Structure 1
Amino acid sequence: MSKFGKVAVMLGGTSAERPVSLNSGAAVLAALTRQGVDAHPFDPATRNLGDLISGEFDRVFIALHGRYGEDGCMQGALDLLNIPYTGSGVMASAIAMDKWRTKLLWRAAGLPTADWEILTAASDFAAVEKKLGLPIFVKPAREGSSIGMSKVTQTGALQAAYDTAAEHDALVLAEKFIDGAEFTVGILGDSALPLIRLEPAKDKSFYDFEAKYLRNDTRYQCPAGLPDAQETALRKLALEAFRLVDGRGWGRVDLMLDSLGNPYLLEVNTSPGMTDHSLVPMAARVAGLDFDVLCLKILEQTFMPDRVPA
């Protein structure tokens, strides 16, 4: 695999998702090494980005999650260094990291997403509870992996949920509860991978950090068990939602289906997890791509015209 040159696998970082990123990066590094790629770990929390130049790295596989890795900051730095990298560029990464602005963009384009309110310390929490109805999901708008997320089920509990979310971000989103099933759609190149249905054992309507990374009883159905026409329509919707934020390369789109089968888009992940609990590798396997092949296909995207140094 000499065509890739020397590859830095960016992992770790400084966000709240550092432990998950370390696991993702280790898995990607092992896969690339097995395939003969000259790949090396690179933790921006402990190394200067100038080491990418002095170390003569040819490209970067971004396995960072959360702030300063998935929000456009690292993408902008790599653009300035003229080093090609995997995944979306600055604008898509920045927009997708901000769940509120992603929803604004979708709503303006006519794509379905649940109603919401922005919370501040001065919010009339009782009025928000009445407007959105209970339950309500509360989350930091610019965090990932359900960091700081709460499900409000009791009257008067919204402010406490806001306080929890505000510990992680000044911008807090309260989102109307959609009573139905949660699905995720992996994106690879110009294609949407098979849908995965997510069924947390603890609370089937709350796919939180614990259900994602800590529990072993969360159920993942892939194929998702939907009629072919419905699955095709949802894949098309996910691709449209991804492209609308200028997503490219690879990523993941999360959505809900209500009891009538109506879809509601939740968020876009531009640098999804690559751990043993992760969803894009799971969907890729169903599509016939093992983990090593998936990593190579993602890395090959660094040869896209806008990622090749001038």
Structure 2
Amino acid sequence: MTYKSDSHIRNPEDFGKVVVIYGGNSNEREISLESGQSVLSSLKKSGIDAFGWDPNQESIKYILNQDIDRAFIALHGANGEDGRIQGLLDFLNIPFTGSGMFSSAIAMSKVLSKKIFLEHNLPTPKFKVIRTLKDLKKATDIFGFPIVLKPNSEGSSLGMSKISKLNELEDAYKAATEFDDVLLAEEFIQGKEITVTILKNKTLPTIRVKTNRTFYDYFAKYKSNKTEYICPGTSDISEEKIYADIALEAFEALHCRGWGRVDFMCEKNSIPKILEINTVPGMTKKSLVPMSAQCKGINFETLCWTILETSF
């Protein structure tokens, strides 16, 4: 059965049997478990017939033996955001939340995403693909210091570094290559970090993230009590619209669907620059999408229900 992304479902029984997929074996397993358990609990509270599946604990046979009508994907990182689980669900003809296989795979790759952004004349920080330490040294000649180094296909800022001096290159390179063989060096943008949630082809209020750390890293995202979240994150309606318009254009450029999050950096008096698109954003107590929804007056149960409506 195919479901339209703009559908509105009134009765929990109409969703049928729903599997919430979470956990997995990626470096973001811990966060995925928390996201999935929160979503599963919420769907059950709403009266939806839902159960959980952790592919790291149970084989595919576990869901093949179930008469599943829909899937809510809460897998983060490898195997969850890279198109693999989406491809499996397509093969099994099970409607699922979020972007399709190809869009997920592209969004997971920072390099591919940025190339497509540029093809669509969308603003993104200047970058170089890094495969060797020599490549990284060349990038510093182009961008100068500081410079940002990231694994190409990793989330939650894992393996990411801000490099301020030449003698920091090797350690940063080693840290990043623990997560990926292909890296991305970006010009450093000194400014505010803004994130935009997209739900059913519409944007929710922006969030500005402020941290006392070098950047919004894993600790700042999930462990720190000092990270500040300001919603809405912009000063006026016109600025809010600028972020919303660029976010929707980026989402469309990658043919994403359903829901997601677009992250930006913006220097003072400058156009916001797209960092990346997250096709399966976090759904934990500290996650940005639930915060943005709450700012709009959408509680967590309604948010999960609405995301599930987008499954097709």
Q: Shorter-chain TM-score: which interval? A: over 0.9
Q: Is the 8 A contact 1:129 1:158 kept in 2?
A: no
User: Structure 2 counterpart of 1:156, which letter?
Assistant: N
Q: Which runs of 4+ in 1 moved over 3 A?
A: none
**For 1:52, what is the secondary structure of its paired residue?**
helix
Instruction: Give the drift of 1:34.
Output: 0.6
- Aligned-residue Cα RMSD (Å) equals 1.1
Q: Is the 8 A contact 1:119 1:162 kept in 2?
A: no
Secondary structure at 1:185 match in 2: strand
User: 1:188 offset after TM fit, Å?
Assistant: 0.1
Equivalent runs, 1:86-105 vs 2, <5 Å: 86-105=97-116
Aligned residues between the structures: 301
Which one of 157, 167, 182 corresponds to residue 193 of structure 2? Answer: 182
Matched with 1:254 is: 263
Q: Distance in 1 between matches of 2:99 and 2:76?
A: 13
What percentage of aligned pairs have identical amino acids? Answer: 46
How far apart are residue 249 of structure 1 and its match?
0.2
2:307 to 273, 283, 298: 298
Q: How does 1:116-155 map to 2 (within 5 A)?
A: 116-121=127-132, 123-155=134-166
* Contiguous gaps of at least 5 residues in structure 1: none
Deviation digits for residues 238-284 of structure 1 (CA, Å, limit 9, x no counterpart): 01101111110000000011122321100000000000110011001
Give the letter for the 2:291 counterpart: M
Aligned to 2:240: 231
Q: Does 1:281 align with 2:299?
A: no
Q: 1:126 to 1:51 in 2, by over 3 A?
A: closer
Question: Which residue type is aligned with residue 304 of structure 2?
Answer: C
Distance in 2 (CA, whole Å) between partners of 1:57 and 1:51 is: 11
Contact 1:253 1:269 survives alignment (8 Å): yes
Question: Does the 8 Å contact 2:133/2:173 carry over to 1?
Answer: no
TM-score normalised according to structure 1 size: 0.95
CA contact 2:133–2:170 (8 Å) conserved in 1: no
What are the residue-to-residue correspondences of 1:34-53 with 2, within 5 Å?
A: 34-53=45-64
Secondary structure of the structure 1 residue equivalent to 2:42: helix
**Paired residue secondary structure (2:52):** strand
In structure 2, stretches of 5+ residues that fail to align are: 1-11
Select which of 113, 118, 121 maps to 1:110. 121
CA contact (8 A) 2:260 2:277 kept: yes
1:13 to 6, 9, 24: 24
Work out whether residues 113 and 264 of structure 1, in 8 Å CA contact, stay in contact via their aligned partners in 2.
yes
Residue matched to 1:215: 224
Deviations, residues 17-43 of structure 1 (Å, cap 9, x unaligned):
000000000100111011001111110
Separation of aligned partners in 2, 1:133 and 1:109: 27
In the other structure, the counterpart of 1:63 is 74
C-alpha displacement at 1:301, in angstroms?
1.1
Higher relative contact order (CA 8 A, sep 6+): 2
1: CA distance, partners of 2:284 / 2:23: 13
1:80-113 deviation per Cα after TM superposition (whole angstroms, max 9, x unaligned): 0111110000011000000011000001111101
Deviates more, 1:114-123 or 1:217-226: 114-123
**1:80 maps to what in 2?**
91
Residue 122 of structure 1: how far off its partner (Å): 5.2
